[in-house]
Amino acid sequence: MILTKDLILKKGVFEDWKALYENLWRHGESAKYMLWKPTFSEEEAKERMRKSLKHQQESGLAWFIYRRKAEEAGEKVGEEALEPIGFAGLIRLDEETYEDTGIAIGPGFVGKGYGKQVLNALTDYCFDELGARRLICSCRAGNAASRALQLSCGFRYTHSEERNDPRNGEKYILEFYERRREERGI
């Protein structure tokens, strides 16, 4: 589990499928720059949840993002006060390097600083808990919000690569950014 001011990144439970469907998976704008397609039915959402939970278990570095609703009212945060709003993950590239596998937050929750909280928390987790020396992030060239997020969290551009979207075969440019442990100033 990873904590931020307003969020908790943790492994999901099956019962959260409906909230994830409503908050994230059914929204095409959320999938626009990602490598997944929107989910259009509750049955598809349940199957997506089963696959997501299996992935979280197998990878160990994948979480759902939960908003801590109780803190709005100054209450103690319990499981019942968490609202699933997105997902985030990492992959280990080598002994000292990790890469994000995507941060997705539903459209009703963007513009609130949650992305910055998640990326900063993942950065701290990589450096402090996993012993990484470098974290790599990427985004499509047209994804100005993701680019701005990475730059605001201290990442710097390193290079771009042409890729093919597995959903439709279209070519796109993927920009890479990195942050090194020694650049944190801690």
Tell me, what's the pLDDT at 90? 97
Q: What is the mean pLDDT of residues 39-48?
A: 95
Q: Are strands 97-105 and 134-140 parallel, antiparallel or unpaired?
A: parallel
Tell me, what's the pLDDT at 73? 46
Domain range spanning residue 164? 2-184
The answer, yes or no, to whether residue 24 has pLDDT greater than 80, is yes
Q: Give 70's pLDDT tier (boundaries 50, 70, 90).
A: low
The answer, yes or no, to whether residue 45 has pLDDT greater than 70, is yes
Closest CA to 65 of 11, 137, 125, 127: 11
Question: What is this structure's pTM?
Answer: 0.90
> If you count them, how many residues does the chain have?
186
How many CB atoms neighbour CB 98 within 10 A? Answer: 24
What CATH number corresponds to the domain at position 172? Answer: 3.40.630.30
Q: What is the pLDDT of residues 140-186, one digit of tens each?
A: 999 999 999 999 999 999 999 999 988 889 999 999 999 999 987 65
Q: Which residues touch 168 (CB under 8 Å, ≥6 apart)? A: none
Q: Give me the number of domains the chain comprises.
A: 1
Asked if residues 109 and 150 have their Cβ atoms less than 8 Å apart, the reply is: no
Q: What is the mean pLDDT of residues 96-101?
A: 96
Q: What is the mean pLDDT of the chain?
A: 91
The answer, yes or no, to whether residue 28 has pLDDT greater than 90, is no
> Which residues on adjacent β-strands are paired with residue 91?
99
